[in-house]
Amino acid sequence: MKNMISKFLLSLIIAISLTGCAALNDTIAGDPWRAYAGVPLSGDKVALIKTSGMRSYTSETYIFLINDITVEKIGGYIEVLPGHYVLEAHVAQRLGGPGSLLGALSEKRAQGSIVLEAEAGRIYVVDGRVVDGQAILWIEDEKTEQVVAGNKP
């Protein structure tokens, strides 16, 4: 009986932890940040860009500039008009969680830029890795999962 209770409690802790991780990586919540002036347009007239965000405790990617304009929302969607965009992104990788000693000692950070030719009605996912001290960025079409910019390692 004691062993069964221990297993139940362990399962409960794991389930709560996983739910918390999903909440941290919730890039869909809230309204998108618009990178254009004026009234919001319908989805068939704009493109959405999102980052992989904190995909796990060991890796995260965030956009901080679009065409030299500071992105005012970390995570979530960024709504843009069709066109040419230069995205500046921050990438961090670590062996342990962000609050752990292992994570602090192993963390690698880099910033990089990538160009996107955004098309209306598309959702793009920006992702990255740190390789030899450099940010390697790529962008995938969320629906097709095809790389549309950069090179995925």
pLDDT value for 97 = 58
pLDDT for 148: 97
86 pLDDT tier (thresholds 50, 70, 90): very high
Q: What is the pTM of this model?
A: 0.73
Classify burial at 70, counting beta carbons within 10 Å of its beta carbon; exposed 0-12, middle 13-18, buried 19 or more: exposed
Mean of all residue pLDDT scores within the chain:
79
114: number of Cβ within 10 Å = 19
Range with lowest mean pLDDT among 36-40, 47-51, 81-85, 98-102? 98-102
Lowest mean pLDDT among 9-18, 35-44, 52-61: 9-18
What does the pLDDT read at residue 80? 97
